[in-house]
Structure 1
Amino acid sequence: MVWNSSNTTCSPQPQHISLAVIFCLVYLLGLLLNSFSLWVFTRRLRKWNSGTVLQFNLALSDAIISPITPLMAVYFAMKGNWIFGTFVCQLKIAVLSIHFNGSILFLTLISVHRYVCVVHFSRSSLIKRKAFMKKLCAGIWCFLLVIGIIYGLMLPVTTEEHNMQCLTIHQKTFTEVYFIINFVIFIFSCILPLTVSVFCYSRLASSLSRININSAQSQSVKAKSMRMIGICLVIFGLCFIPLNVVRTIGVVVIKFYPKKCGLILQLQTAYYTCYILAGINCCLDPLIYCFGSRDFVKAFRRSFKAMGVRRNVDNKSESDTGQCVNRNVIYTVSQ
């Protein structure tokens, strides 16, 4: 292992080129899926409801990371040497913050929306109203922008062992800052949203499991709801939890055990691997739109037909965003 001259931190080590390749492939697929989803939402979907507003904003938060993906791939390929300057580094940090925090917030809101729609189908709620949801999403974007700018200004480029470093564990100047920021993110962007989502989806699954449905149409709605629960929990479990856990272990080791160079470098590789896993959420989120919106599925199929792709359209596909199943009846929810 290579140590720096002060013998207190490890020198930056190059990552395997396969990380950059896989990273590009994952986010390229996510870009294609979310770009197409945004096109369906904006060009093919005739009528929106409160659930559609949330899904559109989730797709938007997934798509905004695309412009900085090539820069990060080059960073990996350049053996951890940032060549794009301080401003682009700060822009990258701001966009990453907006992307990850936005994805988690909108996923959490989707879980709350689905819970209110199904479990409390007969109650009036602001979250079922499209106008309120638009204002809430606008407020969330303002909040995400402010947080992203703050993070970007706090974490400029530094020179470590003759390499320019941007948002890495080797920036010893930011050890304390990373430690504090990490636990803020871990609590408010991981533990709290995960707790809310698990509560909402466990109550939703419990409510759906008690429903005795005989019609094929209602069974389809119930099956789609259960699949959506599974997809959302998989996204949290596969994409966001490993990244937050590894990053938390990393900042603790760097702060309290800075001379454990081998462990630090292993954690760095593990973090980048988890970073790729986190990117898979961009590929999985479009499944939520398919399971959560009948209108989206119809618009999706119309789009393929318009491009000359022959598809059999199933008119019995149902949605939980606009309709809720409870007690042997499908209740239409006022959005």
Structure 2
Amino acid sequence: MENNSCVAPQYMVAKVLPPVMIVEFLLGLPGNVMALWIFCFRLQGWRTTTIYLLNLMLADFLLLAGLPFRIDNHMRGENWIFGEAMCRINLFMLAVNRSASISFMTIVALDRYFKVVHPHHTVSLMSARQAVTVVAVVWPVVFLLRSPLLFNKLLWKEGNNTLCRSFSSKENLTVGLKIHYVLYMAEFFVPFFVLVFCAVRIIYTLRRAGKGRRMNIHRAVRAVLIIVVVFTVCFLPGVATGLATLLVGKLHPEDCKSYLLAGEIFVLTLGFTYLNSALDPLIYCISSSMFREALKKSVPAVSVFSIRERRNDSIASNG
């Protein structure tokens, strides 16, 4: 390990982020364990949507497995004690979670879009087996795109601290880390515009639909809108502050203090990114009627929500 220019421990992050991450872990773990149990033991048959949602949940477990190491790292004042290999694996798992979560959120929204707007399209008529094929393509692509994190130096010595970061200095970036930076931005903007397009088109179809189709389309609208909300809340803050940090580094290359402050704010916003594991169970419930029914049978208290949902659907279909 060697000293890197304009790098320092992030003491504000070390104080603020651990409690936030602990809460997110405690919320995300039971929700996803319950979802795993329902997917594995309570669902009666499989549809394309439930297959995509299962893989969204598996992506969340990558985050939940890596989060305790980040919590420990920040609680030690950002001092990584687990070695270079674990540093790379940990950051790789967190990055794969982000990429896979974005991928499967987008796929679920597209699945809804085609079934509502183009019900006779080949995509709308896909079988569960074909959905498994889609999943089998997505995971290797995600692993391949995030693989630079496994083959680049991510551990830096700064004073008495050993820093484990995938975003570090504004200088001396390898090709692999440049790819990581570009992908971090691109995998937000492209899916975001796809999600917004899907939401607008489904809402437009709802307005023109007859009463017979309105209930199903209304559910699709809710499913896509909750995905857009979760996507925006979890990923926009990190992208916005990441871009701001890059701009500070480019426009004021001599101002290391401002760059470090911007970088610290960026890392703080990653708390929103980690929130996706706690919010994704909302997507499971709203996007899949099969999941909702299985959850209702497993957790009686959910029946109250189900009754209210049917009333709202009835009102919407008659409106």
The one-letter code of the counterpart of 1:14 is Y
Shift of 1:144: 2.0
Match of 2:8 among 7, 11, 31: 11
**Structure 2 partner of 1:30:** 28
Shift of 1:61: 0.8
Shift of 1:71: 0.9
Shift of 1:209: 2.1
**Structure 1 partner of 2:93:** 95
Match of 1:120 among 109, 118, 121: 118
Task: Kindly indicate whether residue 280 of structure 2 is the aligned counterpart of residue 282 of structure 1.
Answer: no
The one-letter code of the counterpart of 1:153 is F
* CA displacement, residues 277-331 of structure 1 (integer Å, 9 cap, x when unaligned): 11222222211221122111110011125xxx6945958978xxxxxxxxx9xxx
**Structure 2 partner of 1:66:** 64
Separation in structure 2 between the aligned mates of residue 141 and residue 237 of structure 1, nearest angstrom: 23
Match of 2:266 among 260, 271, 279: 271
More off after superposition, 98-107 vs 222-231: 222-231
Shift of 1:275: 0.7
**Structure 2 partner of 1:53:** 51
CA contact (8 A) 1:160 1:170 kept: no
**Structure 1 partner of 2:180:** 181
**Could you state the TM-score of these two structures normalised by the residue count of structure 2?**
0.86
Match of 1:230 among 215, 225, 233: 225
Size of the alignment, in residue pairs? 307
Unaligned segments of structure 2, at least 5 residues: 311-316
The one-letter code of the counterpart of 1:232 is I
**Could you state the TM-score of these two structures normalised by the residue count of structure 1?**
0.82
More off after superposition, 147-156 vs 172-181: 172-181
- 1:148-297 to structure 2, matched below 5 A, reads 148-167=146-165, 169-171=167-169, 174-175=172-173, 177=175, 178-187=177-186, 189-213=187-211, 220-254=215-249, 257-297=252-292
**Structure 2 partner of 1:324:** none
Shift of 1:247: 1.5
Pair 314,68 (structure 1): closer, same or farther in 2 beyond 3 Å: closer
Shift of 1:77: 1.2
Separation in structure 2 between the aligned mates of residue 169 and residue 54 of structure 1, nearest angstrom: 30
Pair 304,184 (structure 1): closer, same or farther in 2 beyond 3 Å: closer
RMSD of aligned residue pairs (Cα, Å): 2.7
The one-letter code of the counterpart of 2:25 is Y
CA contact (8 A) 1:231 1:288 kept: yes
Shift of 1:254: 3.3
CA contact (8 A) 1:169 1:251 kept: no
CA contact (8 A) 1:12 1:170 kept: no
Separation in structure 1 between the aligned mates of residue 27 and residue 172 of structure 2, nearest angstrom: 33
Q: Helix, strand or coil: the match of 1:117?
A: helix
CA contact (8 A) 2:116 2:217 kept: no
Pair 225,312 (structure 1): closer, same or farther in 2 beyond 3 Å: same
Q: Helix, strand or coil: the match of 2:11?
A: coil
Separation in structure 2 between the aligned mates of residue 243 and residue 33 of structure 1, nearest angstrom: 24
Q: Which has the higher helix share?
A: 2
Q: Helix, strand or coil: the match of 1:9?
A: coil
**Structure 1 partner of 2:314:** none
Aligned-pair identity (%): 25
